[in-house]
Chain A
Amino acid sequence: MLLSLVLLMVLMTGMAFAQQKSITGKVTEESGASVPGVSVLVKGTTTGTVTDVDGNYRLNVPANSQVLSFSFVGMVSLEMPIGQKTVINVVMKTETTGIEEVIAIGYGTQRKVTSTGSISLAKGEDLIKSPTMNVSNSLEGRLPGLVTLTTSGEPGYDGTTLRIRGVNTLGNNNPLIVVDGVPGRSLERIDPSTIENISVLKDASAAIYGAQAANGVILIITKRGKVGKPTISANFNQGYSRPTRIPKMANAFEYATLLNEIDTYAGNNPRFNTDQLNKYQDGSDQWNNPNTDWFKETLKPWSKQSYTNMSVSGGSENMKYFVSVGAKSQDGFYYNSGTKYNQYDLRSNLDGNINKYISIGVDISGRMEDRNFPTRSAGDIFRMVMRGKPIYNAYWPNGLPGPDIEYGNNPVVVSTKATGYDRDKWYVLNSNFKLNIKIPWIQGMSLSGNAALDKGFRFHKNFQIPWYLYSFSGMDANNQPIMQKGKKGVDDPRLTEDMTDNMNILLNGIVNYERKFGDHNVKLMVGIESIKGSGDNFSGFRRYFLSSTIDQMFAGGDKEKNTNGSAYKNARLNYFGRVNYDYKEKYLAEFVWRYQGSYIFDENNRFGFFPGVSLGYRVSEENFWKDNIKFINNFKLRASYGQTGNDQIDEWQYLSSYGFNNNVFITNTNIANKALYESRIPNKNVTWEVANQGDIGFDAELFDSKFLVTADYFDYRRSQILWWKNASVPVSAGLTLPRENIGKVSNKGFDFNVEYRNSLNDIKYQVSLNGGYQKNKIVFWDETPGAPDYQLSTGHPMNTSLYYKAIGIFKDQAAVDKYPHWTNARPGDIIFEDVSLDGKIDANDRVRIDKNDIPTFTTGLAVNVQWKGFDFSVLLVGSTGAVRYINTESGEIGNFLKDFYDNRWTPENTDASYPRTYNRDNVYWRPQQNTFWQHKTDNIRLKNIELGYSIPAYLCQKVGIQKLRLYMNGYNMFTFSPDLKDFDPEQARNDGQGYPLQKIANFGINVTF
């Protein structure tokens, strides 16, 4: 790589010798401020330079050069005739961003000025400010109306759950991801440097994607080449990560005290005497009375990650190219981590014109995702870290690893490669071939065909080997420790390999017609599209390897070997179209439709028709507006209404089918028989879930487009929601129910984006604030007929459940006697409210709590500042309205939170905020879901912060570099969540037994040649 860089530099230096004429000049803004970094190019050639920190440039041009072009991101490009001039100074105007932008919509692009849909947009250059390894982590706070939830930071499985305008259905709420026009591709693993922009279709404009678009559509456009000399850009990043939060656990003395209380409450003698308790506290006997912090023993302070990307782009009028390669590597949080993620990317986007009428595009991208784990899952490891008893040794004082809690899972050992390895490699190849033909005989008509072939190939290998832990049984006569080495996990090495081979083929053909008739602009589009997926998988297993040195199948024993395999197929077929009309770009109308068929449904219910209409009125184009309300230079009203469909449910609901049980029925020594069961009873009538989506909003630009406002109100009604009737069908019916189109849900809310950009002397700044609020409500639902009213789900948000209402702690026996209570309740227990007022506490006292883990309001505040070579940006995000149930595995089974220890009820501390010490689930208020353990996750986070410095151009150019920028940035650097202090507000696990989220500090360098 280095070699090619050198070669390129030599080449470029060589170009400089073809000089004939020298031109100098200065580029300034309207305000008079100089503009550094402007690209100055002799038009039609690759000869050019960039302006230095003071806006000056010097360029040697061939004598016959005609025109110089000046371009800079965010400014209107300029062309100046050269003539006989040797000094050319120019004034560049700030691009009136927003309305002139071109945005991606389904099957095409649109100018923002005439678009009528509710669409949010984020730029690749902003997303890359998040030093995360997963693009989905970078979206929070960037796109109004997009609700995000990152539930784990585990390398390779750190994806963010994306919800457009919250949750709309009880079924699958995942939005449709469309990458370069191909639906169903993954967003998460795209190399962020190759992303041009991401747009989110929130309203009826998504209807062009019909089915599967009911949850909104996220469109990703990758970068393409532009006419000009080759631009080589390279990015190097070195980052350091650690958990955003780790809980504070009780120490050895505290834990031992709690165990004593467990004994006392059970009527037994406390197990630790004062002497032992003291030793736990003073640390005088590390062999027998240690004080272990399991998090500290298992997790290192910082883990490394790195990211490198190089790209070349450029081209001529007839051939443009963008080629990029990238590599990522991410280490786990553990010491000697067995968890590691690596990724290698390649993308090549080519555009060519075959002649005046025909153009083609060939996009190929490939990547390898390489996930490495120990053979124990992150869940196992963090379960043991959470449960880790401070009164046991992680390592003995002589450095040998201490005992497990169970299954050999001492987390300091099972987080390393000592257990063997689990390596999961995915090879993904995405390709896209486009052919576009302008019909010469009909003005404005073109045809295009698109074939996308996506191939996924997986090779997954899991090699388990035994590992060793030590137990200690006192000192021998010489006062040396007596240690026993114990084999753990598995007795013999064993290997599982599985392979998956997936393919997805998309074909579409589209007719476009675009014509201007006087003041009337008309655009028509119709198309057909077929999508077909298929895949096979195969796996093999052997054990009884004689040695762990060779990890290949042949080396395994023949006993108990096992193979397995399966396959799938799916198909979807669509017809779609769009009509756009506008009059003088003032009155705008759009109609989209889609007629879609899905293999998910039975033949008679297979197709659904989904239309959408949206209207726009650019009031600011009216004369009365122009004359009177000058400070608002652009104002557009928008409204849309449409239907989209959802088929994202399990397959074969309409079929009566039978599947094999994973277990087999053994009828004699060595006689294993397959067992077949009825998968479900069929529902022939199952069909599309329908989303009715209404949206009204406006886009405004004020004070010469320095101030931008966009706001939308939406009213969504989901009908025919596919759900099970399990609330009303008694269990004695024995049915495995299919989904039925039974539910109705409404979801209303708003989202907005406000942005202000200006400059003050040399300082350019931009501040934007966005937010979204949504609340859903079940309108109709299957209910349990005999349940009390306050338990019904109708009228409440989706995904809520029933809880006993915790209204305090029984202070003493008198308090227990005074109030209805659970059988066996005693002082120190949680008081459940007698909601039904029948004098007893039973399941009818549970109430429906309207909250779940999805926030109702989310917001992002972004600030960007530039001053000379410096740039600085901050993104703060916040969310409210969600709750998390926290329920750690504590007692003899594992440690307690320190917070619990500090605030628990004891006979001496009866005004406590926590109940008495418990042993796992031996008290009614642990297994019975109640509001005591619900915490609000309202939070504010410093999501991103970045500081960059660009080396002045005149310095760079001496070494042949156009631009050199150094930067450092951070991700999740600070989190404030007042009601949930021990865990990250986004982490999904109720018991803390998951891989924590990441906080990342990163340093990077960006070079452009």
Chain B
Amino acid sequence: MKNKSYILIVLTFFLLTGSCKKDFLTVTPLDQYAEDGVWKDPALIQSFVNNIYLGIPHGFSALMLSSCADESMAVWDWESSNVTNSLLTPSYLGIFDLNFWTSKMRYITWDTSYKNIRACNIFLEKIEGVTFDDKNFKDQLTGEVHFLRAYYYHQLTSLYGGVPIITKAYILNDDFLAPRNTYDECIKFVTEECDKAAALLPASQSGNNKGRASKAAALTLKSRTLLYAASDLANNTTWATGFSKPELIGYVGGDRTARWKAAKDAAKAVIDLGANSLYKANPVLNENTSKNYGDIFLLTETSEDIWVRFVLAQYENDWDNGNPGLFNGPNGWHNWGGNTPIGQLVDDYEMIDGSKFDWNNPVHKASPYENRDPRFYASILYNGAKWRPRPADVKDLDPNGIVQTGFYEKPGNVVKAGLDTKKSPIEDWNGTSTGYYLKKFIDPNVDAQYFKQEIPWRFMRYTEVILNYAEACIALGQETEAKTYLNMIRKRAGMPDIPASETGLLLLNRYRNERRIELAYEEQRYFDVRRWMIAPQVYTNAKAVNILYKLLPDNTTSATPTYSLSTVQQRSWKNSHYYLPIKLDEINKNKNLIQNPLY
């Protein structure tokens, strides 16, 4: 009897093991959502759109685009000098390669852009079939995605020229070998997407949606795109000697005046929208305009923000994100030095009276950091500038928090190095080579060696629109109109008006300098020097200032330094670098792609 009951147990066992066959192997994932679940639920759809925003590169990474242009030099190089030396090839994309080791620059690559474009395409294919209780919400999301798709294509077109326009979400067995579209087609596509977005989006965003795209953002993107399209690079393909498909990198023929007109109208549309205004546009006498300008980048919100990326320290788990203070602050504050301004940028800040700064002017040379454009004091840390208090362990050496990028001669052939130099007792390897550090964007209230700041990155601010408008006006010969708008910006900065007599090339150069100073480090210059085709003139060896407090005959150290200039980084330009090369591997995969000229 007993045996039989045991056998029964075993048989039951067999049945238990085998009976649940069908359901047994059907396991649903517990850590992700199934596709059909997503495209029913507006909240999940919105979080899908959120992810597309996260693919947009912003400037708060350790290596900034400024170090690939004539604004700064990366202390640790990280192969940025291969860009400033024009050494990129289809076989070597350096920092523009997906596999480059710092995380942030990857967002600017061909690979990442197309991944996010695919997400846009999926959304636009699926959204039609989704029922929303709130139609406005659906429109809002759809508008955002059109904007985002426009942004990615704008970025690709600016970097590579015409690229394949893909508006379909591919499935596994599709034919993927899309050829490049012409430059013209790309610009048309981007502006159409901007229009679609503008039609669906509110003039500006507020409350919980502040960081999302608005009509103002869509129109600003359109303005930027059309301005680029009207610029020299897109309208003069002769630099690409012998290139068989010039239509891929610019316009061949057509009416350029109409393009400037379109650029002007697009900028005007943002102005007329009235959603934004210049921050503190009308300073009173003796108002601290330097602080006003600096605050634009230190406040969490200003009237000129069109589209920004907010930052919350708690959620920033990527080391290469949202920490400009640590990346760029001086080593004497235990920061990494980072993207140090080069002499050329510093020297381009005008004197307070609107005249040019000149090292050959003995007055200027004796005290180069006095009486400069107020924006200089908000953007650059220079020797003698007062900044935040030093960290506890350095405080004894400098109780006042004064930047020290100079050297002090002491008796007995001793040269004592400033705390923020490459010979500092504090993390000397991160000391500046140029004599300067970045101040713009860096929250002085945060001890960046431990804490991340929480200031948004501005992708688009109203000032840019004013500048875009002025640039188009100058090109169209409407110089008075241009000056009216440029003077708004100068006035806010505490700078005198442009002389009424200044016209033509002088005015153009004044405008370009104004844009360079006002938008310094805002990821505009890299594109500006290309589209203006001034890259050959500006990719010159990086300049530095050397500061020495000399030993006086009475064996004391002079309280006033002497300055000398040197070059610290070799730079050179090749025309191929107007556009990036398409990776050889990608061309090997897609025979329909044509490489950019001169590679």
Contact = CB atoms under 8 A, between A and B. Distances in A.
Interface stretch (A54-62, A304-312, A583-591, A781-789): A781-789
Interface in A658-680: 658-679
Contacts of A570: 27
A962 B152 CA distance: 80
Contacts of A733: 114, 118, 166, 170, 174, 176
A329 to B, nearest CB: 34
25 contacts: A355-B2, A357-B3, A437-B3, A471-B425, A482-B396, A484-B397, A484-B425, A485-B393, A491-B450, A529-B17, A575-B18, A599-B27, A606-B25, A656-B36, A660-B32, A661-B51, A675-B48, A733-B170, A734-B121, A735-B170, A738-B172, A786-B591, A787-B588, A920-B77, A924-B92
8 closest cross-chain pairs (CB), A and B: A734-B118, A843-B91, A786-B588, A486-B393, A667-B211, A656-B35, A491-B450, A675-B51
Given A358-B6, A449-B9, A922-B79, 9 more contacts: A355-B3, A599-B26, A667-B212, A675-B53, A730-B586, A732-B110, A843-B92, A921-B79, A927-B92
B135 interface: no
Given A560-B314, A567-B31, A663-B54, A528 B14 contact: yes
Interface in B545-599: 567-568, 570, 583-591, 593
Nearest to B91: A843
Contact of B588 (A472, A484, A532, A785): A785
Interface string B92-112: 101000100000000000110
Interface stretch (B202-210, B225-233, B464-472, B524-532): B202-210
B35 A658 contact: yes
B119 A677 contact: yes
Given A509-B10, A658-B44, A670 B312 contact: yes
B189 interface: no
B31 A922 contact: no
B50 interface: yes
B172 A673 contact: no
B90 A842 contact: yes
A530 interface: yes
B588 A676 contact: no
B589 A528 contact: no
A664 B31 contact: no
Contacts of B505: none
B35 A734 contact: no
B89 A403 contact: no
Contact of A484 (B32, B164, B393): B393
Contact of B32 (A652, A727, A844): A652
B287 interface: no
A729 B590 CA distance: 8
A562 B51 CA distance: 21
A657 B393 contact: no
Interface string B128-165: 00000000000000000000000000000000000110
B171 interface: yes
A474 B415 CA distance: 12
Contacts of B91: 842-844
B313 interface: yes
A403 B208 contact: no
B177 interface: yes
Nearest to B110: A731
B38 A666 contact: no
A43 B9 CA distance: 36
B429 interface: yes
A657 B31 CA distance: 10
Contact of B429 (A405, A440, A486, A731): A405
A404 B24 CA distance: 55
Contacts of A673: 46-47, 50
B584 A734 contact: no
Contacts of B24: 530, 532, 571, 573
Choose among B25, B166, B207, B210 the residue with the greatest number of A CB atoms under 10 Å from its CB.
B25
Interface of B: 2-3, 6-7, 9-10, 13-14, 16-18, 20-21, 24-27, 29-36, 38, 44, 46-48, 50-51, 53-54, 76-79, 81, 85, 87, 89-92, 94, 98, 110-111, 114-119, 121-122, 163-164, 166, 170-172, 174, 176-178, 207-212, 300, 309-315, 317-318, 334, 336, 391-394, 396-397, 416, 422, 425-427, 429, 447, 450-451, 454, 567-568, 570, 583-591, 593
Given A528-B14, A661-B51, A571 B27 contact: yes
Contacts of A730: 176-178, 586, 589-590, 593
Nearest to A652: B29
A736 interface: yes
A823 B89 contact: yes
Contact of A672 (B212, B309, B312): B312
Contacts of A271: 422
Contacts of A668: 207-211, 310
Nearest to B566: A268
A668 B121 CA distance: 26
A550 interface: no
Interface string A452-481: 000000000000000000011110000000
A76 interface: no
A664 B312 CA distance: 10
Given A597-B25, A732-B110, A509 B3 contact: no
A568 interface: yes
Nearest to B423: A271
A702 interface: no
A187 interface: no
Contacts of B46: 673
Contacts of B54: 661, 663, 665, 675
Interface string A402-428: 011110000000000000000000000
A23 interface: no
A913 interface: no
B584 A844 contact: yes
B353 to A, nearest CB: 36
A640 interface: no
Contact of A567 (B30, B76, B396, B426): B30
A663 B315 contact: yes
Given A471-B425, A733-B114, A679 B32 contact: yes
Contacts of A471: 393-394, 425-426
A659 B119 contact: no
A320 B87 CA distance: 76
Contacts of A358: 3, 6
Contact of A509 (B17, B50, B212, B422): B17
Contact of A666 (B30, B166, B311, B397): B311
Nearest to A436: B10
A824 interface: yes
Nearest to B312: A666
A406 B50 CA distance: 34
Contacts of A767: none
Nearest to A669: B300
A572 B317 CA distance: 36
A508 interface: yes
B412 to A, nearest CB: 13
A568 B177 contact: no
Nearest to A662: B317
Contact of B394 (A484, A655, A681): A484
B158 to A, nearest CB: 17
B107 to A, nearest CB: 11
A794 to B, nearest CB: 15
A665 B211 contact: yes
Contacts of A451: 13
Contact of A677 (B51, B111, B447): B51
Contacts of A487: 391-393
A569 interface: yes
A508 to B, nearest CB: 6
A681 B589 contact: no
A219 B34 CA distance: 38
A89 interface: no
Contacts of B31: 566-568, 659
